A and B are shown apart, each in its own frame.
Chain A
Amino acid sequence: MRLLLVEDDIALGSQLHHALKKAGYAVDVSTDGVDAEAVGDLEPYDLIVLDLGLPKRPGLEVLSNWRKRGNQVPVVILTARGSWQEKVEGFKAGADDYVGKPFQINELLARINAVLKRSAGSVAGTLKVENITLDEDKQELILQNDQRQSLTATEFRLLRYFMLHPGQLLSKSKLTEHVYEYDQDKDSNVVEVYVNRLRQIIGPELIKTRRGQGYIFGNSD
Chain B
Amino acid sequence: MASLKTRLSWGLMLSLIALLTLQWLIVMYAISRLTENQLIDRLQRECENLLSIVDFNSLDQLQIDAQRMGAIYQRPFSGHYYTVFTSKQTSISRSLWDAELSFQSLAAGQERKLRLNGPNGQSLLVVLRGYKKQDHTITVAVAENIEPLQANINRFQLLYALISVVGLLVLFGVQRLMVLNALKPLKNIQVNIDKLGRGETSLLESEGPDEIRPLIDAINRLLTGMDRKYHRSRESLGNLAHALKTRLSLVNQIAEHPIFSHNPDIQSSIYESTTVMSNIIERELKRARLLGDVRPGRQVDLKVGIAELINTLRLIYASKGVNITSEVAINAQFFGDKEDLMEMLGNLLDNACKWSRNRVSLTVMDGEGVSFIIEDDGDGASVADLNMLTRRGFRADESQPGSGLGLAIVNDIVESYNGTLNFSRSAAMGGLRVEIKLDQFKKKTT
Point out residues on A near B: beta carbons under 8 Å: 9, 11-12, 15-16, 19, 53, 80-85, 87-88, 91-92, 96-98, 100-105, 114, 118, 124
Contacts and interface: CB of A to CB of B under 8 A. Distances in A.
A91 B339 contact: no
Interface in B242-287: 242-243, 245-254, 256, 271, 274-275, 278, 282, 286
B271 A104 contact: yes
A118 B254 CA distance: 30
B343 interface: yes
How many interface residues does chain B have, given as a range? 35 or more
Contact of A105 (B256, B278, B319, B346): B256
Contacts of A9: 246, 250
Interface stretch (B11-19, B106-114, B304-312, B388-396): B304-312
Contact of B256 (A19, A96, A102): A19
Interface of B: 238, 241-243, 245-254, 256, 271, 274-275, 278, 282, 286, 308-309, 311-312, 315-316, 318-319, 338-339, 342-343, 345-347
A98 B311 CA distance: 14
Given A9-B246, A80-B245, A91-B311, A19 B343 contact: no
A118 B318 contact: yes
Contacts of B248: 101-102
A83 B251 CA distance: 22
Contact of B343 (A11, A12, A83, A101): A83
A118 B249 contact: no
A104 B242 CA distance: 17
B346 to A, nearest CB: 3
A81 B238 CA distance: 8
Interface centre among A85, A91, A124 (most CB of B within 10 A): A85
A102 B253 CA distance: 9
A85 B242 contact: no
B282 A101 contact: no
A100 to B, nearest CB: 8
B252 A85 contact: no
A102 B316 contact: no
Contact of B241 (A12, A80, A103): A80
9 tightest A-B CB contacts, nearest first: A84-B346, A102-B248, A80-B245, A15-B253, A102-B249, A101-B245, A124-B319, A84-B342, A91-B312
A124 B318 CA distance: 10
A74 B245 CA distance: 24
Contacts of A92: 308, 311-312
A15 B309 contact: no
A11 B245 CA distance: 13
Contacts of B253: 12, 15-16, 19, 105
Contact of B319 (A87, A103, A104, A114): A114
A102 B312 contact: no
Contact of A82 (B282, B309, B318, B339): B282
B250 A85 contact: no
A102 B319 contact: no
Given A101-B278, A102-B245, 13 more contacts: A12-B250, A19-B256, A53-B242, A80-B241, A84-B312, A84-B342, A84-B343, A88-B309, A92-B312, A98-B316, A102-B252, A103-B249, A105-B256
B246 A80 contact: yes
9 contacts: A9-B250, A15-B254, A19-B256, A83-B339, A84-B345, A88-B309, A91-B316, A92-B312, A101-B278
A83 B350 CA distance: 12
A100 B281 CA distance: 13
Contacts of A81: 238, 242
Contacts of B241: 80
Contacts of A16: 253
